[in-house]
Amino acid sequence: MELTLAPIPYHWSRDALRDFYARIADEAPVDTVILGELICSKRAPFFEADLPEIAERLEAGGKRVIWSSLAEILLKRERKATDDLCAVDDGRLVEANNAAALRALAGRPHRVGPMMNVYNEETMRFLAAQGATHVSLPPELPRAGVAVMAQAARAAGLGIEVQVFGRASLAVSARCYHARAHGRTKDNCQFVCEEDPDGMPLATMDGDPFLVVNGIQTLSRSYVNLAAHVSDMRAMGVSALRLVPQRQDMVAVAKVFAELAAARIDGQEAAARLDAMQMDAPFSNGFWLGEAGYRRIARAS
């Protein structure tokens, strides 16, 4: 089983982003790193010029680099940027996270990201016929659904990936919640999302912690943690495990999942190691078990 590091969903400073990827290149036992802006095109100019150098350093560290498209396209400049990204011929694949990227990539090898919401075998087979080589499933897909999709992926010759760590993306919107929460418009947001490098926490009217906002994106408050279920995924034929970056020690997280993916430790030990890191958010596995997504359920399947 391979280990994939998803694109950073948050708006981190340029220095924080460069330092993060330098450490990933040198220390993290991941196989694939997906680079690029996923959530908001306004953030891209802050670090876009650094991406070629970051990609080269990651590759020098033995990582495969994949480019990420945006999850949502609303403007002509975003469509053009997507077309330009998909036209790059540098030997690196693109992960499509919206239909515009799929159109631009049709007929050429590419990956399909979790924002495309591939929920059934027919969709997967259609995407494979269009050139997809690898599909990352949406994080809310339960175990039974993943088992069916993994079987279909084997038949179609596709890699199949499941998110095993990090906040689950629940929705994206045309509106920027972050800007609105600070009395600003989307066009005049002043990049307020940078103030929340792990997302802006939301609470219910009763004051209970609820969700997390990241610009136009709504995320789970909890970190998905499927360490206890990786052996089950291996038996199904899941070929890659996806880690979503958080403001935690992602090198340490990657090391736990790398040992788990290689079957050097079991799910119980991996879960204990992650618990010992005392992270800033609770863990959850409810979606995997077909329950409410925020729940953490002690069940082996």
3-state secondary structure 98-160: CHHHHHHHCCCCEEECHHHCCCCHHHHHHHHHCCEEEEECCCCCCHHHHHHHHHHHHHHCCEE
Write out the H or E segment, with its range, that includes residue 68. strand 64-68
Does residue 300 register a pLDDT over 80? no
- Quick: pLDDT tens for 123-135: 999 999 999 999 9
φ and ψ at residue 128, rounded to 5 degrees: -60, -40
- Quick: pLDDT tens for 189-225: 888 888 899 999 999 999 999 999 999 999 999 999 9
The structure's pTM equals 0.95
Q: In a 3-state reduction of DSSP, which class is residue 233?
A: helix
Closest CA to 46 of 245, 218, 191: 191
Residue 183 has a pLDDT of 86
Residue 301 has a pLDDT of 60
- Quick: pLDDT tens for 138-182: 999 999 999 999 999 999 999 999 999 999 999 999 888 888 888
